[in-house]
Structure 1
Amino acid sequence: MLELLFLLLPVAAAYGWFMGRNSVKHQELKDRTNITKNLSSGLNFLLTDQEDKAIEQLLHLLDIEAATIDTYLALANLFRRRGDWDKAIRIHEKLHQLKLPKSQARQIQFELAKDYQSAGLYDRAEKLLVPLVRQEPLQEASLKHLIALYISTHEWGKALQLTDAVAATSSNSLRLALANIGCEQLKQEEEDRASQALQSLAEQYPKAIRPRFELAELLLANQQPKQAFALYKSILHDKPQWAADILPLAKRCQVSDEDWYSLLSQLSHKHNNISAHIELAGWLLQHGSDKAAEQLLLDKLQQQPNIRLFRTLLEQRKQSTAQGADALESVTELVANYLDKKVLYSCRNCGFKTRQHYWLCPSCQHWETVEPISGIDGR
């Protein structure tokens, strides 16, 4: 009898293993059935525009299955693009509570910070973004959002504290942002201190326009026209499309005829700038070269059709010929009325159009992207 018991032990063990395995499979099958049921219910709520119920149903699944996080991230991003910040926040907050690998957890933290920022909860967004500015690969993106946050709240000092972190990236847009933020901070400074700080910004961020532009304005106001003219020339060397705004200021710098003619010639012949064509024609008129001025305008019009050049030519002919002056006057007035309604600036990043210049694009929030327009109506 004892021998029979020993023989039955392996059978009992095998039976136990078999029943246990079937029990595990049964539980897994039951869990999967519940997941499918809840997922189906959630999707049904979404399809019937019952989004709040759908979110509750889908978030309940996170306690069971965390492997579908990418699906939840996509859903939260969809809500954020639609402007449903509260729904995106609820999903990302639930994901943020899960124990996940560091890379995935940081990505969710970044997405949640974006939700808070979009919803105007800047203090919460800042708290999540600050630790991420030193973490790759989210460093640059986190810096852009954090600096954008400080721009919205006009906390220029906090933004400038990120100088070292920005220097560790290769982002030119972030450097331009800090250069302009530095200029914003200097608005309340005394003139002498502002001049020194602008000089430092111009040297630290050589690709930025605004520090040089505002420094030149200060120098011109302090009766230092030569230094101001040198700065205006450096801006035009880097950004000849800014001639429409820079040339009237540079003209006040009391430069010699030779230097002024040299600058206008370079901008006109090398860069085909409309404002330079017009200024050069005016310079030729002042020096008694009426025919040369008219020929310059005609040649440039043939090469580069432009309404502003055409108006300048009409005005010149109206002054030089008494016959038909009345007819030319009416045409000139029509052209002037047409140009008065045209936009003067356009953002090269988002296409925003305006008659007023902004250092910070109101549409896409990029610095120094709003520039004078080109083309048939350009300057």
Structure 2
Amino acid sequence: MLELLFLLLPVAAAYGWFMGRNSVKHKELKGRANITRNLSSGLNFLLTDQEDKAIEQLLELLDIEAATIETYLALANLFRRKGDWDKAIRIHEKLHQLKLPKPQAQQIQFELAKDYFSAGLYDRAEKLLVNLVKSPVLAEAALKQLFSIFIATHEWHKAQQYSDAVDNTDSRSLRIAQANMQIEALKPQAQQTPDALLQLAEHYPAAIRPKYELAQWAISRQQPQLAKSALLYIAQHKPQWSADILPMLQQCELADDEWYQLLSQLANKQHNISAIVELARWLAEHGSATAAEQFLLDKLKQQPGIRLFQQLLQIRQQQSAPAADVLSSVEELVNAYLEKKSLYSCRNCGFKTRKHYWLCPSCQQWESVEPIRGIDGR
């Protein structure tokens, strides 16, 4: 009898294992069926424009299945793009409560911060972003979002505490933003000294504003050599700014040959319109009107421009007294045309304006608004 009992024990164990496995499978299938049913119900609510009910239905699934995080992130981002920030916040806050791996949790935290920013809840967004500045993956994105908050609130001084974090990134745009925001922070306290501007110019060579502000300060204090050094740096590294810096350089006591060499380089190598116009004037004054006219005609063949044509009209009027009245009328029409044209455009978003902004009002990028190019350009 005992021998028979021992023979039956393995059979009983195998039967128990088999039934238990079937029970687990049954529970899994039942759970998946519930998830599918709830997901289908949530999608039906979305299709029938019952978004609030859809969100409630879909959020219930988070307590059952956290493997569909990407789906919820996509849904929340869709709501944010539509401007439904409260719905995006509800989804991201629910996801933020889950115990997830650190990279996934930080990504959700960053998305939630963007929701708060879009909704105007800057203090909440800032608290979340501060914790992400040291993240090896999200540091740069978190800093850019933080700077967007400081721009929106005009809290320029806060940017300086992240200067080390900015230096640890490879982002050129962050360095330019840091330099500009520090200059903005200096202005109200009237601390915009040459030492502070020189320090910013040396630390952030990609930014042109520190040198531009330094040149303006030096010209106002009658220090032409300091202004000249700063402006020549801009001319070399940012020749597209010639339209604004050439009038300033004229106040810096440049020798005739130095001025000619600078204009020649900008006109012939960089093909800058403003430099071509100034060089034509120099040729007319120090050479002959005929040489200036021929120079402009050659340049017009290479790169047609309204301002080059305007300068050609002025030189022709000086040469031909009988045709002066007719040419003067044409010049007035050209002037009227140019007065309506934009002087600056943003290289990032295409925003156009007659006034210069260090921060583009449209895309909120620093130093992206530059003198306009092309046939109407300078």
CA offset digits 1:318-353 (Å, max 9, x no partner): 232122322212221221111112211111122222
- Give the secondary-structure state (helix, strand or coil) at the position aligned to 2:187: helix
Q: Which residue of 2 aligns with 1:104?
A: 104
The reply on whether 1:356 has 2:355 as its aligned counterpart is: yes
- What is the CA-CA distance between 1:2 and the residue it aligns to? 6.5
Q: Which residue of 2 aligns with 1:52?
A: 52
Q: How many residues align?
A: 378
The reply on whether 1:183 has 2:183 as its aligned counterpart is: yes
Task: Report the TM-score, using the length of structure 2 for normalisation.
Answer: 0.96
Cα distance in 1 for partners of 2:298, 2:35 equals: 75
Q: Which residue of 2 aligns with 1:315?
A: 314
Cα distance in 2 for partners of 1:346, 1:325 equals: 34
CA offset digits 1:348-375 (Å, max 9, x no partner): 1222222211111112211111111111
CA offset digits 1:135-165 (Å, max 9, x no partner): 1111111111112211221222211100111
Cα distance in 1 for partners of 2:26, 2:269 equals: 80
Q: Which residue of 2 aligns with 1:371?
A: 370
Runs (5+) with no aligned partner, structure 2: none
Alignment of 1:293-304 (within 5 A): 293-304=292-303
Cα distance in 2 for partners of 1:274, 1:11 equals: 95
Cα distance in 2 for partners of 1:292, 1:230 equals: 31
- What is the CA-CA distance between 1:20 and the residue it aligns to? 2.5
CA offset digits 1:244-298 (Å, max 9, x no partner): 1111111122322222222112111221111011111112222352111111111
C-alpha spacing 1:252/1:264, structure 2 compared with 1 (3 Å): same
- Give the secondary-structure state (helix, strand or coil) at the position aligned to 2:207: coil
Q: Which residue of 2 aligns with 1:121?
A: 121
1:302 counterpart letter in structure 2:
K
Q: Which residue of 2 aligns with 1:305?
A: 304
Cα distance in 2 for partners of 1:188, 1:253 equals: 28
Q: Which residue of 2 aligns with 1:151?
A: 151
Q: Which residue of 1 aligns with 2:235?
A: 236
- What is the CA-CA distance between 1:301 and the residue it aligns to? 0.6
Q: Which residue of 1 aligns with 2:81?
A: 81
Q: Which residue of 1 aligns with 2:223?
A: 224
Q: Which residue of 2 aligns with 1:252?
A: 251
- Give the secondary-structure state (helix, strand or coil) at the position aligned to 1:206: coil
Q: Which residue of 2 aligns with 1:16?
A: 16
Across the aligned residues of Structure 1 and Structure 2, the Cα RMSD in angstroms comes to 1.6
Cα distance in 2 for partners of 1:135, 1:190 equals: 36
2:36 counterpart letter in structure 1:
T
Q: Which residue of 1 aligns with 2:30?
A: 30
Q: Which residue of 2 aligns with 1:196?
A: 195
- Give the secondary-structure state (helix, strand or coil) at the position aligned to 1:24: helix
- Give the secondary-structure state (helix, strand or coil) at the position aligned to 2:143: helix
- Give the secondary-structure state (helix, strand or coil) at the position aligned to 2:251: helix
1:44 counterpart letter in structure 2:
N
Cα distance in 2 for partners of 1:119, 1:369 equals: 26
Q: Which residue of 1 aligns with 2:285?
A: 286
Cα distance in 2 for partners of 1:105, 1:257 equals: 64
Cα distance in 2 for partners of 1:14, 1:242 equals: 84
1:82 counterpart letter in structure 2:
K
Q: Is the 8 A contact 2:293 2:312 kept in 1?
A: yes
Q: Is the 8 A contact 2:159 2:182 kept in 1?
A: no
Q: Which residue of 2 aligns with 1:66?
A: 66
- What is the CA-CA distance between 1:113 and the residue it aligns to? 0.9
Q: Is the 8 A contact 1:226 1:255 kept in 2?
A: no
- Give the secondary-structure state (helix, strand or coil) at the position aligned to 2:310: helix
Cα distance in 2 for partners of 1:361, 1:294 equals: 38
1:112 counterpart letter in structure 2:
L
Cα distance in 2 for partners of 1:181, 1:111 equals: 25
Cα distance in 2 for partners of 1:171, 1:16 equals: 62
Cα distance in 2 for partners of 1:157, 1:286 equals: 49
Q: Is the 8 A contact 1:241 1:371 kept in 2?
A: yes
Q: Which residue of 2 aligns with 1:261?
A: 260
- Give the secondary-structure state (helix, strand or coil) at the position aligned to 1:132: coil
Q: Which residue of 2 aligns with 1:90?
A: 90
- Give the secondary-structure state (helix, strand or coil) at the position aligned to 1:365: coil
Identity score, percent: 70
Q: More deviation in 225-234 or 32-41?
A: 225-234
Q: Which residue of 2 aligns with 1:336?
A: 335
- Give the secondary-structure state (helix, strand or coil) at the position aligned to 1:371: strand
Q: More deviation in 354-363 or 14-23?
A: 14-23
Cα distance in 2 for partners of 1:239, 1:347 equals: 15
CA offset digits 1:81-104 (Å, max 9, x no partner): 111111111111111100111111
2:168 counterpart letter in structure 1:
A
Cα distance in 2 for partners of 1:11, 1:129 equals: 60
- What is the CA-CA distance between 1:56 and the residue it aligns to? 0.8
Cα distance in 2 for partners of 1:123, 1:186 equals: 23
- What is the CA-CA distance between 1:17 and the residue it aligns to? 3.0
- What is the CA-CA distance between 1:123 and the residue it aligns to? 0.8
- What is the CA-CA distance between 1:22 and the residue it aligns to? 2.5
- Give the secondary-structure state (helix, strand or coil) at the position aligned to 1:376: coil
Cα distance in 1 for partners of 2:7, 2:179 equals: 86
